Amino acid sequence: MSKVLKYIIIGLLGITLANCSSNTYKIKKESKNQVLKVPSWYMKDYSENKECGTKMFGKKKDKKCVFGVGTSTSPDLELAIDKATMIAKAEVADKIKGEMNKKAKIFTTELGKSQTKTVVTDVETTIVNIIKNTPVRGYEVFKQEVTLTKNGYYRAWIGLRLPMGPYNKMYNYSMVEIVDAYQLKKLAKKSYDEVEIIATNEQ
């Protein structure tokens, strides 16, 4: 076997091994108890069109997306990813339909004798962020990372985007259509039952 052929075989073998190794994801290990480094995309302002896949010209020039990110830890990898995904979905839903309610109470009274009275005031303020039933169907995972904490827990970092309007893959599967289909089945069952009753009475 010539030297040239040997080099070719070695080169092909190296490429094959490199392709095999690229199919696995290497989890980075965190070195300290505190998280001092986070993925740069996690802290990014997603008002940019690039992350949504919006084109300057063509069909996708009007594409808009709502973004949400989340992170969570767990000794189970899948649970860490699920928890982070739920947090990211909640952020998306909050941006779509979040409502802020504020309740303030002020109580003022006077204490003491007529010549030495003191005014006492009690102030209480409560702010509640409410997210009611908000569909987040058709979201896409555009970024995902996993790190290993010092105590051996998995930390998942998830970035979601929700394409709006016809760019959403679930756009044609609205809840109205699902409800209509359910009502159709109920009507069909009622008709079938009526026909069976008539047939039974005629026997």
The pair of structure tokens assigned to 47 is 């008002």
Q: Return d(Cα 132, Cα 93) in angstroms, integer.
A: 9
- Residue 197 parent element (H or E): helix 175-202
Count of other CB atoms within 10 angstroms of residue 97: 14
The pair of structure tokens assigned to 41 is 């995309």
Identify the pLDDT of residue 87.
93
What is the rounded average pLDDT of the residues 178-188? 59
Query: pLDDT: is 174 or 147 the higher one?
Result: 147
pTM over 0.75: no
Task: Tell me the pLDDT tens digit for each residue of 121-165.
Answer: 888 888 888 878 777 888 999 999 999 988 889 999 999 998 888
HSE-CB for 165 with a 13 A CA cutoff: 5
Q: What is the largest CA-CA distance in the chain?
A: 113
What is the rounded average pLDDT of the residues 167-188? 64
Identify the pLDDT of residue 105.
86
Task: Tell me the pLDDT tens digit for each residue of 30-78.
Answer: 776 666 778 888 888 776 667 888 888 888 888 888 999 999 999 999 9
Q: Return d(Cα 59, Cα 68) in angstroms, integer.
A: 25
Identify the pLDDT of residue 24.
77
The C-alpha angle with vertex 107 and arms to 103 and 111, in degrees rounded to 5, equals 165
Identify the pLDDT of residue 95.
87
Task: Tell me the pLDDT tens digit for each residue of 89-113.
Answer: 999 989 888 888 888 888 888 877 7
**Amino acid present at 194:** E
Number of helices (H) and strands (E) in the chain: give both, helices first.
3, 6
**Amino acid present at 50:** K
Q: Return d(Cα 54, Cα 50) in angstroms, integer.
A: 6
What is the rounded average pLDDT of the residues 75-82? 94
For residue 26, pLDDT over 90 is answered with: no
- Residues in Cβ contact with 94 at an 8 Å cutoff, skipping those fewer than 6 apart: 68, 129, 131
- Residues in Cβ contact with 23 at an 8 Å cutoff, skipping those fewer than 6 apart: none
Identify the pLDDT of residue 119.
80
